[in-house]
Structure 1
């Protein structure tokens, strides 16, 4: 899953929000000395991030969505599926959360700023760009998705061609949305079980 889903699945717990972000930066075993800077609650968030990614990769709806994407997206179908699912979560956020999306995104940005000292330096650019351009809120708009895919293509040459994923979503949104609707409640339940939440 992409950033919005990871933050949503932190259930408004600040250490889990930070850990879910750090899942893209903390490598290897969490008991390794390089990860000593993170407390137990943040490490739980990192493990939650890994659980979310593993569950998403193995869920039938995620697999079917990836298979439905045009073959020219190749090995980047998983990245695109994650982005599409964030789009549907943002678009239908009121179906899943008591806060309006704008309020939720402002809350998350505040948490990221509050705990900036915990983040590795290589995360600063991502967080600054996320807040400056309001990524999480703009995921609900096709224009926002186009910007995201275009930016990924420019920043990472190995993702060349991924900028076409916005047009694919625009043309076939009705094809992909049912995969998200079938998948996301299962992911929520799995994360609650992982965290031992009722």
Structure 2
């Protein structure tokens, strides 16, 4: 789950909440939230759809596919949070991380119990900020491995990340401007 990218690609506090909620709610519940939170849910889905179809993502998945097959996209997402974190000035990343935690805490009434439990760990260990560190991404990669039903928890995904970091950076650099443009376009449709 690429929490940093989804939280960064927002235009309001409520959209941040919706971006996080998307992975934690049932499809039928997505219309039961206030309008701007719903926009965040919609934006999350649009980002995922755009990302899954992008040629750079298809290429980046080849780094992880031999190890994790269908889970390759999840590890590309996590890897791209590392590159996003490192593309931002330190203060910007620090401020963004603290804003996200504050916004989520201010909207706890909308967040499911399982998300709140995770948020405690996310905030305590400052996941969003620490994605800029190799150990932060290693931790995130291990979280994905631990949750994946059909993957060995010792699969050398982090080693593949380190070995192919330069190649993954090239894919991120080619992909992210296209995603920023798409997100801007989608947000403009919310205001019409």
TM-score under structure 1 length normalisation: 0.87
1:10 equivalenced with 2:5 (yes/no): no
- Cα distance, 1:192–1:133 mapped onto 2, change above 3 Å: same
User: Is the Cα–Cα contact under 8 Å of residues 37 and 118 in structure 1 kept in the other structure?
Assistant: no
Cα shift at 1:126: 1.8
- Cα distance, 1:178–1:166 mapped onto 2, change above 3 Å: same
Q: Secondary structure at the match of 2:23?
A: coil
Cα shift at 1:157: 4.3
Cα shift at 1:171: 1.7
Aligned ranges 1:93-112 → 2 under 5 Å: 93-94=88-89, 100-112=92-104
1:186 is aligned to 178
User: Is the Cα–Cα contact under 8 Å of residues 152 and 163 in structure 1 kept in the other structure?
Assistant: no
- Cα distance, 1:133–1:158 mapped onto 2, change above 3 Å: farther
User: Is the Cα–Cα contact under 8 Å of residues 67 and 157 in structure 2 kept in the other structure?
Assistant: no
User: Which consecutive aligned stretches of 4+ in structure 1 deviate over 3 angstroms post-superposition?
Assistant: 34-37, 154-159
Length, aligned pairs only: 190
2:42 is aligned to 47
User: Is the Cα–Cα contact under 8 Å of residues 86 and 132 in structure 2 kept in the other structure?
Assistant: yes
- Cα distance, 1:169–1:112 mapped onto 2, change above 3 Å: same
2:51 is aligned to 56
Query: Structure 2: which 5+ runs fail to align?
Result: none
Between the two structures, name the one with larger relative contact order (CA 8 Å, sep ≥ 6). Answer: 2
State the alpha-carbon separation in 2 of the partners of residues 161 and 154 from structure 1: 6
1:124 equivalenced with 2:153 (yes/no): no
TM-score under structure 2 length normalisation: 0.90
- Root-mean-square deviation (CA, aligned residues, Å) is 2.1
